[in-house]
Amino acid sequence: MNKSSSKGIKLTTVIFAVFVLALSAILSNTSVAENMEVKTEQAN
């Protein structure tokens, strides 16, 4: 019982970590795209 529950906790932690990394990557990509758009508008 303990082994299966510890595996479940580890799996949940891994999924949560992957979700956080993916979310931060999406946010950073969005901010980079916004910065590029601003630079393009300023150049025009």
pLDDT at 15: 95
Domain boundaries, the chain: 1-35
For residue 24, the surrounding DSSP H or E stretch is helix 2-43
Distance CA 9, CA 32 (A): 34
Distance CA 29, CA 33 (A): 6
Of residues 19 and 26, more confidently modeled: 19
Q: Residue 25: what residue type?
A: A
Q: Is the pLDDT of residue 11 over 90?
A: yes
Ranges of beta strands (E only) in the chain are: none
pLDDT at 3: 66
pLDDT digits (tens, 9 = 90+) for 22-33: 999 888 877 666
Percentage of the residues of the chain whose pLDDT score is greater than 90: 32
